[in-house]
Structure 1
């Protein structure tokens, strides 16, 4: 039996699993209804048509969520122009530290790329 089941393998689900592993939890299941990245297909992108509203969207579903198809911006900038105003809930210092932590965690899984 699993200690934790995480539903959704977007950035929040991935980071939840990583944090649990850091706490010593090893019996985790991470599930997502989407396909793996290499098997995703979007008619709109491939055929240059309007969105056909697929039952399970290959852009937003699957490991990494929509971020798997983007330029990698899954963090929020401190100006609030992307993702809202987190500084309404935590201090700017905490926000900057959190963004740095997320960036460093993502980079730790990269193949040597930089920001």
Structure 2
């Protein structure tokens, strides 16, 4: 289980390492294990390869987009007004949904910006 966060870096090192390993081909896995650089897989400042970073951030972008689409079934406008007649439990559920959507949106934007970095620069 991995968590996303609401700060400037919504992806932690464990999730990043997982995403990189998940998106590696057999040759990349072999190379990284031979080099003994497994610890750099979780480092946001380290790039394994331009191709891999592109895959990682595209994968995360797609997953966040899919999760955000699942929230379209809920009717909320991102606000809770004082005039709502919601029960305490319903109000807490609504607050949770709003926070989850916000974190997913921030992570989606983060992944898009990282992906664009590897499209534009052409270097890793």
TM-score normalised by the chain length of structure 2: 0.29
| Structure with the largest fraction of helix | 2
| Structure with the largest fraction of strand | 1
TM-score normalised by the chain length of structure 1: 0.31
Q: Rg: which structure is higher?
A: 2
Larger RCO (CA within 8 A; separation ≥ 6): 2
